[in-house]
Chains A and B, each alone.
Chain A
């Protein structure tokens, strides 16, 4: 086989200078003619294996894991949904009502699992992050529950004491469900970007229409995607 030197180096994932030296020193079963390398495919693969190197030709693309697509806020909220008048006087009660209201949870067992893990998380430490907002979420990713990545916005019937950091009663929940820790952190970081914005907090306190909230989130998505 024949390949250009730089392509050949890329196949071995080594710097061109190293490959050039190895060929010159006769350490690799390949010959250099002009600026291309001549080698036997099988011999080189065997050599690479015994020397703890990887060799794959450019056409047989290495099976790259497709980079997991990161959700945007609008996508997550579309899947999770926006709900109003969630009833309850205690943390457990509002979480129970919120989980019952959420539509995209699949089976009842999954709903149960989600409820229990959300409550367990609240018992450990409140997710009330201040300004009347709480972000209930499971402590570990629910990768096997069959629940898709989503975020549900739940406006409460009446404010509830969530033992939030600023001790203010909570009036809106963003229930975060993610299948991986990375996805979870990504959504949480996007959400917290919104929650730092006063106009967004003002909007939340007015119980916006679903359309208004979605548009606002899409606007934030746009800003985050532009590298803000």
Chain B
């Protein structure tokens, strides 16, 4: 069977499996919510999110030995560096841990865990069929798209999110199987959970005033996005300063969330109930309280995720976004009481798009997700405006999005078809030229002239003939003045003219680092030396050749 057809068929299978995983997590969350709803009245229950976060972190660290974190950067890293290789246990570990965190009241979302789970399913299916890395990456994308499509019942958002964030490459080879998987995932969810639109609403009449007002909203959502990003990272660094076991930290963070939840129960859990109210326009609290809720939800999310709980950022973004939209709407109404704006539900919806786009810096994901989960196509004009502006403003402040910031800091942000990716794929072992003539240090200059005559290179490594140890280099340019002086031929030995303080490269070094060193020192060539053995030379001239080959192979399909 043709490779592409095969990939599409397997992609559909992966989509179904990851859809099932999403439905399972959803069911688990509903069950937890149902079981615990009777207890909400007791004041001491603020420890409940603490216990949930503690169990979740213990399960991740001790049970399955995976780090905390929400999973999306891990998947992106694996796609860019290891061809999408993921462990099988990742297929369920995040589901269980996030179910514990969110079900007990922690402020986090189920989407990132489900994406990780779907991606891992895709990766392991690819390994089962022993597919190559390009196909495996496509299947990782299939898993993530299927999972996201299933949990939101939003196939286009699943596709767009995967291409924009996970795979990073818009090519037909990827899009077709991922689209099929998205459809499969959404279909599974509709079969098992009914064809529901998460946030139904009344018809909005969106006029020119609303579109103009959206510009202001974009600024608000961008600011809130930046605040949320900073708060998440800040709380992560802050919690790291306490010399406490990780599970105690998670417990404390959860308790703080629980305490906030005692006063403002809207911040607990994924928070979809409040979004529903806001979109319908039946959310009662006034401007002051909504402002407080934005701050409280940011705090609760930071304490949940930054202190060791497990879950995604997507759902909190939606909640905070709708709070921001509502806040902005009420603020406008207060300024101009007579202004005939569209109702506040529409702004809650626009706020969600603004926040998702701002945090992920992925405008298309924001637009399509909101259109699909609200079924509100009539808001598309202000929606596009808010998403685009919010992304742009956030990008100016925080050049790397929430998902990619860690990767950028580690120098592992390697998107397909970029210079960094090409350099990361090429290894020193592939570039090293081994046709160098080595010379002993005891050689006379006269003999060396004959070696030069028969070689076509400018660099000669000096190697101990007995031990094979690398001792230094002779560069023709450095000794040119002596070459034409026959008097020196019999009197000068190579050890007198060789360079001993040489910059060397290890065969396992990263090429990007080596190039940076070459640029810094103005070198064109460097010897590759491993364990004191001379292996060969790498030079910028050959690098250009190989770089071009690699670039063509990576970009021309």
Contact = CB atoms under 8 A, between A and B. Distances in A.
A23 interface: yes
Interface in B130-184: 131-135
A18 to B, nearest CB: 5
B335 interface: no
B228 to A, nearest CB: 36
Contacts of A24: 83, 132-133
B83 A27 contact: no
Nearest to B454: A227
A25 B552 contact: no
A168 B425 CA distance: 67
A25 B132 contact: yes
A50 B556 contact: yes
Which 5 interchain pairs have the tightest Cβ spacing?
A26-B132, A26-B134, A25-B133, A18-B430, A51-B552
A28 interface: yes
A185 B556 CA distance: 45
Interface string B230-272: 0000000000000000000000000000000000000000000
* Most chain B beta-carbon neighbours within 10 Å: one of A18, A23, A28, A227: A18
Interface in A23-75: 23-28, 50-53
Contacts of B426: 18
A17 B556 contact: no
A27 B137 CA distance: 12
A26 B133 contact: yes
A129 B76 CA distance: 72
27 contacts: A15-B429, A15-B430, A17-B429, A17-B430, A18-B546, A18-B549, A18-B550, A21-B425, A21-B427, A21-B430, A23-B132, A24-B133, A25-B133, A25-B134, A25-B425, A26-B131, A26-B132, A26-B134, A26-B135, A27-B134, A27-B553, A50-B556, A51-B549, A51-B552, A51-B553, A52-B548, A53-B549
B500 interface: no
A193 interface: no
Interface in B416-469: 425-427, 429-430, 450
Contacts of B552: 51-52
Interface string A140-174: 00000000000000000000000000000000000
B548 A27 contact: no
Contacts of A53: 549
Contacts of A15: 429-430
Interface residues of A, number: 17
B200 interface: no
A25 B83 contact: yes
Given A25-B83, A26-B133, A17 B427 contact: yes
A14 B549 contact: yes
A216 to B, nearest CB: 23
Interface of B: 83, 131-135, 425-427, 429-430, 450, 546, 548-550, 552-554, 556
A182 B426 CA distance: 38
A51 B550 CA distance: 9
Interface of A: 14-15, 17-18, 21-28, 50-53, 227
A227 B556 CA distance: 48
Contacts of A21: 425, 427, 430
A74 B270 CA distance: 94
Given A27-B134, A52-B548, A22 B427 contact: no
A195 B88 CA distance: 78
A21 B134 CA distance: 11
* Most chain B beta-carbon neighbours within 10 Å: one of A15, A23, A51: A51
A213 to B, nearest CB: 27
Given A26-B134, A51-B549, A227-B450, 8 more contacts: A15-B429, A17-B430, A18-B546, A18-B549, A21-B430, A25-B132, A26-B135, A27-B134
B556 A51 contact: yes
Contacts of B549: 14, 18, 51-53
A25 B546 CA distance: 17
Contacts of B429: 15, 17
Contacts of B83: 24-25
Given A17-B427, A17-B430, A22 B553 contact: yes
B427 to A, nearest CB: 7
B430 A27 contact: no
Nearest to B136: A26
Nearest to B548: A52
B206 to A, nearest CB: 46
Nearest to A16: B430
A51 B131 CA distance: 23
Contacts of A227: 450
Nearest to B131: A26
Contacts of B554: 27
Contacts of B430: 15, 17-18, 21
B428 to A, nearest CB: 10
A65 B430 CA distance: 28
A26 to B, nearest CB: 3
A28 B550 CA distance: 11
A178 to B, nearest CB: 21
Contacts of A26: 131-135
A28 B554 CA distance: 10
B31 to A, nearest CB: 41
